[in-house]
Amino acid sequence: MLIAFQKMQAQGNDFVILDFVDRCLPEYDFPALARSICHRQFGVGADGLVTLEAADTADARMIIYNSDGSRAEMCGSALRCVSRLLMDKFARSEALVLTDSGLKQASSKEEDITVNMGSARIVKADFPADGFVGDLVDIGNPHYIIFCDTLSDDPHLKHGASLEHHPAFPASVNVHFVRVLSRKKIQMKIWEHACGATLACGTGAASAVYSGIRKALLEHEVAVEVPGGMLKIIYQKDTDTLQLVGPVSYVFSGKYIWKI
């Protein structure tokens, strides 16, 4: 079976995208397909598989599968990628995407794609787990935010896996170690649930900035340095929402041979 795909990336957070907006969604075993097509050695290679299908209230509905086949609630990087794809598809500078976390608006300006991530919520502030103290933030998916003085020892590689599944949390979490460089810039390293270490995480960046604002460490517009590049988070106080801003790009397209 040949499956047409686009591969896109946002600061190194990469995705295989299947566009079914103009046709019926096939009856694939998508979790199995995600495990196969996302494999770095034997597949296309990606952090996740994203499907797009028709939606009555949006330009498309986005479904995200992690590379292990599990379903992801939300992903800011994938949202920006599919928003670019939809804008190009419909020759517009805006897009509306239906996600498992609700409707999300996106717009483009030059190379940047801006998406409204909605509101974040501090579930547990200054919460201890595995010897660390951090904020558990919900922005459609859960993030554990740990502020620290240095990231040079790659704490995400040493502690990400144990924190991801720590019994202190009600469910598995994304883990982010954050260093404040100034009130307008942070650096972060990332361990994503079901993916491991990744080069970027849009929802994680928004959660980290939100946590930093609540701790009076950051301004309302913050540059975020992730291993794969730079992002910008803008907190809109009047609506209590967060905007995620940054470029995305197409990597390549092709047809994947899937033997089922």
Helix (H, G, I), strand (E, B) or coil at 223: strand
In sequence order, what E strands does the chain have? 2-10, 13-20, 48-53, 60-66, 71-72, 94-99, 102-109, 112-118, 121-129, 132-138, 142-147, 174-182, 185-192, 196-198, 221-226, 229-236, 241-247, 249-257
Q: Sign of torsion, CA 197 200 201 206?
A: positive
Q: Is 148 a catalytic residue?
A: no
Q: How many CB atoms lie within 10 A of CB 55?
A: 15
Q: Bridge partners of 12?
A: none
Measured CA distances, 1 to 32, 33, 63, 256 (Å): 14, 12, 21, 8
Active-site option among 38, 75, 81, 195: 75
Closest CA to 38 of 204, 196, 200, 225: 196
Helix (H, G, I), strand (E, B) or coil at 132: strand
Active-site option among 38, 81, 195, 201: 201
Q: Is 38 a catalytic residue?
A: no
Helices 202-214, 76-90: axis angle to 10 degrees equals 120
Positions marked catalytic: 75, 201
